[in-house]
Each structure stands twice: as C-alpha cells, then as structure tokens.
C-alpha cells in the first residue's frame, strides 16, 4: 500500500487513525454482530452513535444550549435554498459576495426572494474579503449571509462582519473544526462533512432555536422544524457518514486535544506554505495577506504550461489533487485538518526543488 499526500479540496483526506478504526469495525460494530452500514437507524447501537456525535460536536465547538444540531443530507448546496425557505419573512437577505459558493447561494436566494449583494470582491477576482460597515446593512434584510472560508479562491474571514443585530448565516463547509469559533455570534452555521468532518452525504446545521419556525408552506424534508422535532431522523439519516463524523470528532477531541490545538497545527502548516510562496520567485499566492485561508492555499506560476508541468511532476512524486479549480486555474493545496505537517513540509521541499531545477 502506498498512500499519497492528497491535497483534494473535497472529498478530502481523512485522519489515518479514523480510517483504521472504521476498518477495524467494518464487520462488527461493538457487540452488535453487524456493520454500522447494516444497522437500523432506530437501533440502540445507532442511537448511541448519533447521540455521541451530537454531544461531541456540542462540547468540541462549545455550542450553547439555545442551538440545535441537525444532521441532514443534500450537501451544503441544499442549504442554499433551505435557508431562504425557512428564514425569509420580509423577503430579502443581505449577502457578502466572495466567490463561487456565494454565487450559488445568491442564485437560490433569488428564486425564493431577493439577494441584496451589499459587498463583493468580484472586482479583484475574489482575492480579498470586502469590509462592510453598519450603513451597508439593509433594515429589511431577514439575515446576513457569508461564506466564511472560500474553498476555491483561498480567502477567509479573519474576523466576522458586523451584523447590526441580523442573524449571521455562514457557510463553514471548508473550515468547520479548523479553529475555535464563537457559535453565539451566528444564527446558522452549516457545513458539508466531506472536507473537515468526514465523508460526503452528511451536512451539519447548527441553528439558533428561535430561528426554527413551523412554516406551513415548506415541504417536510426541507423544514428545520420537522428535522429538529424528529432529532434528524424524520427519514433515514446518512448513518455511515454520521458514524465517521463521530470518529473524526473523537479523534480531534482526544488525540489532537481540541480546536485550539487544531488551530495551532493548521496555522503552522499554512505558515510554512505561505512563507515559502512569499519567498519564491516561481510561485505566487494572489490573495490579500490578511484574508488568506488556512485551509485552501492557491498559487500560480503565471505560465499555464509551467502550471501543468508542475502538477504532472508533483503527481509522479505522490502529491495529488493540486490542480486549481477549473474556473480559477493554477494550483491549490487544500490542507484541511487531516493533512499532516509532514505532508505540507514535503510539498514545500518538492516545490523548492522544482523551482531550483527550473
Ligand atoms: C464544498 C463546498 C460547498 C458544496 O458542498 P456540497 O456538499 O457539494 O453541496 C459549499 N460551500 C463551500 C464553502 C464548499 O467548500
């Protein structure tokens, strides 16, 4: 077996210890006589898994009691419409536009109401996070929407925007669990699991309870109220993805030592990569320094053929999935929680060697 350094933006690398544990329980979970994949979601064993997953997430993220944790399906993308369906009353939401993921959220919002784009970084190909002040927030907006870490362009909010009392709705798909966050500052946090929480198929929604309303015109499967009342088991939840998420949470809590420790590791990895990029005469990171993502590091050489050649050579050496998003080009190294320090150091030494030989 030769495991590679996988820099995929998602689905992405998973802690090897988690994969090993899942593998050791593949044929039988506990004394259940069966795999988690074969279990009824109403069984005691699965109840134990989903309850532990929820309580681990609550303690790891220090989620206050006035928030509900939901384990849903449909990807982060389903939230682009589920959020407006459940939260629009006056009919519009303010959005800070920072890339392709907010563009998709805006598109869905405009099907159901109106997206008011109050700031955008499109003028500079989304290489920075626009600043807003109170005067930009519309009194009529039902909430303020952001994407906290922009997976494709490699930017992130180092500080949350002011909200003028509006609920802050944030897409944390590519940064959840990478550092501590103050959950009480948000109305909704949502994230697809396949970047930092485990595998595809699960979407976690952390929602302030007062935002959960019984809205009669919403299909049951798209209603936060129905999902909350049924403890995320209105229908069969993504059982195996919830099981893997539980293992990931357990690993971060017990082996890493919590989110502050996780952040330390992530900062160290990102620092190594950005420090190299800033000193390189071949590779460049185009992002505004204070807005740089800790999870997705983009870089270019300025020459498409060199980019292509680099990606091919890197792959031969076991550094895979370094190609940038098809809409952006260049390269991107996604260095989520499960990417090791050693992986990042090895990548940087490969890049310096490539640069020397150029
Ligand atoms: C990956 C990603 C999504 C889309 O997630 P799906 O689960 O594929 O719908 C949305 N937002 C961000 C920030 C992402 O990184």
Residue with the nearest Cα to atom 2 of ligand 1? 173
Do 303 and 340 lie in a common domain?
Answer: yes
Give pLDDT tens digits for 86-124. 999 999 999 999 999 999 999 999 999 999 999 999 999
The reply to whether 9 falls in a domain is no
Q: To which residue do tokens 């320094």 refer?
A: 289
pTM of full prediction above 0.95: yes
Instruction: For the chain, report the end-to-end CA distance as a whole number of angstroms.
Output: 32
Q: Which helix (H) or strand (E) holds 350?
A: helix 341-356
Residue with the nearest Cα to atom 10 of ligand 1? 76
- Model confidence at 230, pLDDT cuts 50, 70, 90, reads very high
Do 164 and 201 lie in a common domain?
Answer: yes
Q: What are the φ/ψ torsions at residue 136 (nearest 5 degrees)? A: -85, -15
* Distances in whole angstroms, Cα of residue 23 to Cα of each of 13, 32, 53: 16, 16, 19
Boundary (domain end) residue, out of 255, 274, 292:
255
Q: To which residue do tokens 């979970």 refer?
A: 29
CA of 44 to the centre of ligand 1 (A): 32
d(CA 299, CA 144) in angstroms, rounded, equals 30
Here the CATH number for the domain that contains residue 191 is 3.40.640.10
Do 341 and 321 lie in a common domain?
Answer: yes
Boundary (domain end) residue, out of 224, 255, 286:
255
Boundary (domain end) residue, out of 239, 255, 271:
255
CA of 295 to the centre of ligand 1 (A): 14
d(CA 124, CA 117) in angstroms, rounded, equals 16
Range of the domain at 323: 259-357
The reply to whether 230 falls in a domain is yes
Here the CATH number for the domain that contains residue 281 is 3.90.1150.10
* Residue 2 pLDDT: 86
The reply to whether 12 falls in a domain is no
The reply to whether 51 falls in a domain is yes
Q: Indicate the top mutation candidate among 173, 205, 298 to test ligand 1's pocket, ranked by most ligand atoms within 8 A of CB.
A: 173
β-partners of residue 79 are: none
* Residue 135 pLDDT: 97
Do 72 and 113 lie in a common domain?
Answer: yes
Residue with the nearest Cα to atom 7 of ligand 1? 75
The reply to whether 1 falls in a domain is no
Do 67 and 180 lie in a common domain?
Answer: yes
CA of 338 to the centre of ligand 1 (A): 18
In percent, the amount of the chain with pLDDT more than 70 equals 100
Mean pLDDT, range 243-268, rounded to an integer:
98
The reply to whether 10 falls in a domain is no
The token pair that represents 297 in the structure block: 């590091």
Residue with the nearest Cα to atom 8 of ligand 1? 75
CB-based pocket (< 6 A), ligand 1: 10, 75-77, 101, 147, 151, 171, 173-174, 192
* Residue 358 pLDDT: 86
The CB density around residue 214, as the number of other CB atoms within 10 Å, is: 10
- Of 134-138, 167-171, 328-332, which gets the smallest average pLDDT? 328-332
Q: How many structural domains does the chain have?
A: 2
Do 300 and 219 lie in a common domain?
Answer: no
d(CA 169, CA 2) in angstroms, rounded, equals 41
The CB density around residue 148, as the number of other CB atoms within 10 Å, is: 23
Give pLDDT tens digits for 301-329. 999 999 999 999 999 999 999 999 988 89
Cis peptide before 32 (omega within 30 of 0): no
Q: Indicate the top mutation candidate among 189, 192, 325 to test ligand 1's pocket, ranked by most ligand atoms within 8 A of CB.
A: 192
Q: Which helix (H) or strand (E) holds 93?
A: strand 92-97
* Residue 327 pLDDT: 81
Kindly report the average pLDDT of the chain as a whole number: 97
Give pLDDT tens digits for 10-56. 999 999 999 999 999 999 999 999 999 999 999 999 999 999 999 99
pLDDT at residue 298 tops 80: yes
* Residue 101 pLDDT: 98
Do 235 and 125 lie in a common domain?
Answer: yes
């Amino acid at each position: 077996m030769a495991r590679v350094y996988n820099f995929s933006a998602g689905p992405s690398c998973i802690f090897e210890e988690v994969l090993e544990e899942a593998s050791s329980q593949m044929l039988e979970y506990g004394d259940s006589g069966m795999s988690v994949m074969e279990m009824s979601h109403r069984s005691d064993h699965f109840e134990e898994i989903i309850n532990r997953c929820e309580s681990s997430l609550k303690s790891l993220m220090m989620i206050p009691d006035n928030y509900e944790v939901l384990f849903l399906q449909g990807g982060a993308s389903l939230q682009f419409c589920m959020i407006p369906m459940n939260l629009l009353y006056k009919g519009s939401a303010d959005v800070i536009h920072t890339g392709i993921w907010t563009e998709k959220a805006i598109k869905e919002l405009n099907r159901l109401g109106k997206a008011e784009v109050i700031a955008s970084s499109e003028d500079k190909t989304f290489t920075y996070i626009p600043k807003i002040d109170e005067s930009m927030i519309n009194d009529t907006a039902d909430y303020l929407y952001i994407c906290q870490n922009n997976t494709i362009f490699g930017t992130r909010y180092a500080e949350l925007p002011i909200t003028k009392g509006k609920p802050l709705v944030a897409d944390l798909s590519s940064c959840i669990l990478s550092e501590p966050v103050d959950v009480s500052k948000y109305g909704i946090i949502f994230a697809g699991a396949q970047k930092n929480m485990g595998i595809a198929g699960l979407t976690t929604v952390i929602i302030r309870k007062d935002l959960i309303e019984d809205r009669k015109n919403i299909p049951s499967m798209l209603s936060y109220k129905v999902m909350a009342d049924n403890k995320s088991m209105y229908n069969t939840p993504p059982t195996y993805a919830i099981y893997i998420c539980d293992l990931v949470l357990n690993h971060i809590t017990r082996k890493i030592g919590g989110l502050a420790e996780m952040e330390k590791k992530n900062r160290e990895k990102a620092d190594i990569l950005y420090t190299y990029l800033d000193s390189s005469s071949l590779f460049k990171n185009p992002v505004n320094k204070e807005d740089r993502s800790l999870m997705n590091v983009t870089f270019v050489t300025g020459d498409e053929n060199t980019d292509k050649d680099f990606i091919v050579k890197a792959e031969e050496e076991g550094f895979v999935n370094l190609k940038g998003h098809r809409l952006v080009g260049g390269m991107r190294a996604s260095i989520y929680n499960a990417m090791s320090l050693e992986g990042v150091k090895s990548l940087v030494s490969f890049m310096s060697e490539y640069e020397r030989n150029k």
